[in-house]
């Protein structure tokens, strides 16, 4: 009886989703719904943004005033790694942005990222219902929440926004800019562009050669400019605090919280690639994922680093789409959604640090009882 009720509810929900996607502007409507879902399930303590202990913001403001000055922070601090993460500081300097305005701009980038996620997912799956299910799942991950809940001034939301551009557009100029700019937000963004190379070189059907050239040119441009800046201004970036063994205790939770339910489609796609004997793609894909995971597990903020794996979602989707029926695709999307919804919004780091991003009702209760 219970099973029949659940099945009936499930089918009814799919029907309602199908009806929703028949609306003219459903993609825009869905995009605008997602930020509210994100903030309901993960509402940050915005008041801490202006706390004196938030040294990231202090350093960003200092870097915006003097973008090419070497910082004097300890080698094992986050601030000492920001020497070449110039996108945020330069943006703040050029447009005279403060903490509030850069935060709002990152939220806007996050909203556009959601729209591009819908656009890319629909283009790959050609299934509106599966796209909606996966978008709701995406809203429950640290990937999607990052641009809306960043009160520490990491600005990862901008890097994630740039990384999704090559999957939403086939224009080589857009692909070049997405790859090039991601690296200037965070070096982890540059490493993640290896997945974009796999996409353009092995997966994408249109403009394969020119788009792959765009990726390579973006890499060359990034390293050339970085080397020139380092030489002219005598800049270095510290690598203190990088230690793989220190984070092993939190490795399982850190790996899971990076993609949550989307690990299902990642693992399925690798299995499919191996089973269909596409060894070259499987090797490159698994190697790229392995490198990003190794980097994530070598630093303190594991979950925050693991979210840079998210371009793998699109590669995995197209691999699964090529062998599965639409019905099975919807079922897989449902499993991904359930796993993402049922798992709380946690982030892991270091040896034993685990943080729960409070949902809005609990956050309000906390404020009322203070």
Of the pLDDT bands very low, low, confident and very high (cuts 50, 70, 90), residue 240 is low
Can you tell me the distance from the alpha carbon of 129 to that of 126, in angstroms, rounded to the nearest whole number? 9
Provide the β-strand partners of residue 347.
355
Can you tell me the distance from the alpha carbon of 67 to that of 93, in angstroms, rounded to the nearest whole number? 9
Arithmetic mean of pLDDT, 131-143: 97
Arithmetic mean of pLDDT, 183-196: 97
Mean pLDDT of the chain: 93
Of the pLDDT bands very low, low, confident and very high (cuts 50, 70, 90), residue 126 is very high
**What integer pLDDT is reported at residue 350 of this predicted model?**
81
Of residues 55 and 147, more confidence is placed in 147
Looking at 72-81, 85-94, 168-177, which range is the least confident one? 72-81
Can you tell me the distance from the alpha carbon of 166 to that of 179, in angstroms, rounded to the nearest whole number? 8
Arithmetic mean of pLDDT, 187-216: 95
**What integer pLDDT is reported at residue 249 of this predicted model?**
86
**What integer pLDDT is reported at residue 30 of this predicted model?**
98
Of residues 359 and 240, more confidence is placed in 359
The distance in angstroms from the start CA to the end CA of the chain is 45
Arithmetic mean of pLDDT, 335-344: 95
Name the one residue in this structure whose structure tokens are 């997945």: 195
Q: What is the CA radius of gyration of the chain?
A: 21
Question: Would you call 68 exposed, middle or buried from its count of C-beta atoms within 10 A (0-12, 13-18, 19+)?
Answer: middle
Q: Identify whether the C-beta of residue 159 lies closer than 8 Å to the C-beta of residue 308.
A: yes
pTM for this predicted structure? 0.96
Highest mean pLDDT among 81-85, 114-118, 277-281: 114-118
CA-angle at 203, arms to 304 and 184, nearest 5° = 35
Of residues 77 and 14, more confidence is placed in 14
Arithmetic mean of pLDDT, 291-310: 94
Arithmetic mean of pLDDT, 138-159: 96
What percent of the chain clears pLDDT 70, i.e. is strictly above it? 98
What percent of the chain clears pLDDT 90, i.e. is strictly above it? 78
Question: Does the structure show a pLDDT above 90 at 245?
Answer: no
Arithmetic mean of pLDDT, 181-194: 97
DSSP 66: S
User: Helix H segments across the chain?
Assistant: 2-20, 26-41, 55-65, 87-95, 99-125, 128-139, 142-149, 156-168, 172-185, 187-198, 208-233, 251-259, 263-275, 279-297, 302-306, 312-321, 326-342, 360-368
Looking at 35-39, 119-123, 132-136, 248-252, which range is the least confident one? 248-252
Structure tokens, 111: 């909203």
Our measurement of the distance from residue 186's CA atom to the centroid of its chain's CA atoms, rounded to an integer in Å, reads 12
- The DSSP line for 197-220 is HHIIIII--TTHHHHHHHHHHHHH
Arithmetic mean of pLDDT, 13-33: 97
Name the one residue in this structure whose structure tokens are 């945020």: 88
Arithmetic mean of pLDDT, 179-203: 97
**What integer pLDDT is reported at residue 241 of this predicted model?**
62
Residue 234, C-beta contacts closer than 8 angstroms, at least 6 positions apart: 70
Looking at 3-12, 261-270, 322-331, which range is the least confident one? 3-12
Arithmetic mean of pLDDT, 284-305: 94
Annotate 357-367 with b (16+ C-beta within 10 A) or e (fewer).
Answer: bbbeeebeeee
Arithmetic mean of pLDDT, 36-46: 93
């Amino acid at each position: 009886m219970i099973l029949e009720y659940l099945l009936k509810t499930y089918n009814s929900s799919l029907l309602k989703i199908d009806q929703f996607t028949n609306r003219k502007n459903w993609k825009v409507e869905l995009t605008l719904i997602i930020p509210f879902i994100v903030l309901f399930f993960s509402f940050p303590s915005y008041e801490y943004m202006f706390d004196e202990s938030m040294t990231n913001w202090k350093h960003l403001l200092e870097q915006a005033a003097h973008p090419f000055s070497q910082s004097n922070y300890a080698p094992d601090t986050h601030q000492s790694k920001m020497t070449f993460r110039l996108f945020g500081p330069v943006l703040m300097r050029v447009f005279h942005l403060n903490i509030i305005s850069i935060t709002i701009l990152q939220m806007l980038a996050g909203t556009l990222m959601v729209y591009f996620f819908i656009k890319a997912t629909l283009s790959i799956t050609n299934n509106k219902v599966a796209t909606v299910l996966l978008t709701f799942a995406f809203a429950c991950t640290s990937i999607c929440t990052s641009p809306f809940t960043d009160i520490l001034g990491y600005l990862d939301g901008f890097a994630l926004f740039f990384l999704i551009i090559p999957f939403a557009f086939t224009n080589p100029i857009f692909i070049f800019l997405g790859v090039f700019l991601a690296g200037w937000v965070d070096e982890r963004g540059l490493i993640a562009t290896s997945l974009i190379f796999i996409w353009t070189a092995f997966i994408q059907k249109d403009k394969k050669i020119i788009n792959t050239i765009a990726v390579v040119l973006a890499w060359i441009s990034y390293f050339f400019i970085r080397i020139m800046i380092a030489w002219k201004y005598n800049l270095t970036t510290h690598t203190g605090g990088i230690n793989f063994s220190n984070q092993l205790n939190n490795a399982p939770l850190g790996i899971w919280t990076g993609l949550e339910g989307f690990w299902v489609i990642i693992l399925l796609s690798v299995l499919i690639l191996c089973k269909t004997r596409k060894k070259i793609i499987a090797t490159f894909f698994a190697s790229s994922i392995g490198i990003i995971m190794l980097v994530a597990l070598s630093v303190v903020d594991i979950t925050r680093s693991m979210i840079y794996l998210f371009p793998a979602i699109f590669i995995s989707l197209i691999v699964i789409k090529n062998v599965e029926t639409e019905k099975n695709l919807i079922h897989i999307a449902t499993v991904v959604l359930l796993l993402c919804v049922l798992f709380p919004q946690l982030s892991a780091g270091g040896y034993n640090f685990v943080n729960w991003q409070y949902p809005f009702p609990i956050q309000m209760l906390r404020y009322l009882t203070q």
